[in-house]
Amino acid sequence: MCGATAGGLSLAGIDVAKEAIIQGQVTRGGEPVGTAYVRLLDKSGEFTAEVPTSATGHFRFFAGPGEWTLRTLAPQAEPVDNVVTAAKGVVAELEIAL
């Protein structure tokens, strides 16, 4: 059984209309991965930011509008890249399966 928060991360207190948000959860076999890191790479592949996943496998970035690559790194897993578009007023929600 997955221990993740139903519906993902809370957006309470965040003015979504003013932000470009990229968030999601890293899982393996349907279970959250709390030992992963998610990197935010710009359109040229340059490193911009990195966050560790929470105990429930969740992560969040406040990014500028545009196309980004999320590179997920975790023990005993190959890196996983996902391309995502961030836009102000929109929450880009991803589930990243390892």
Residue 8, domain member (yes or no):
no
Q: How high is the mean pLDDT of the chain?
A: 90
Instruction: Indicate which CATH number applies to the domain containing 93.
Output: 2.60.40.10
**Residue 44 sits in which domain range?**
17-97
Query: Above 60 in pLDDT, residue 25?
Result: yes
CA 6 to chain CA mean position, Å: 16
Q: Is there a domain that residue 2 lies in?
A: no
The angle formed by the CA atoms of residues 31, 20 and 78, to the nearest 5 degrees, is: 35
22 domain-assigned: yes
25 domain-assigned: yes
Whether 69 is in a domain gets the answer yes
Q: Is the Cβ–Cβ distance between 37 and 76 less than 8 Å?
A: no
Q: Identity (one letter) of the amino acid at 35?
A: T
In a domain, 58, yes or no: yes
Residue whose C-alpha is closest to residue 64's, from 27, 92, 36? 92
**pTM for the structure as a whole:** 0.86
At residue 7, the pLDDT reads 56
31 in any annotated domain: yes
Structural domain count, the chain: 1
C-alpha angle 34-85-89 in degrees, rounded to nearest 5: 95
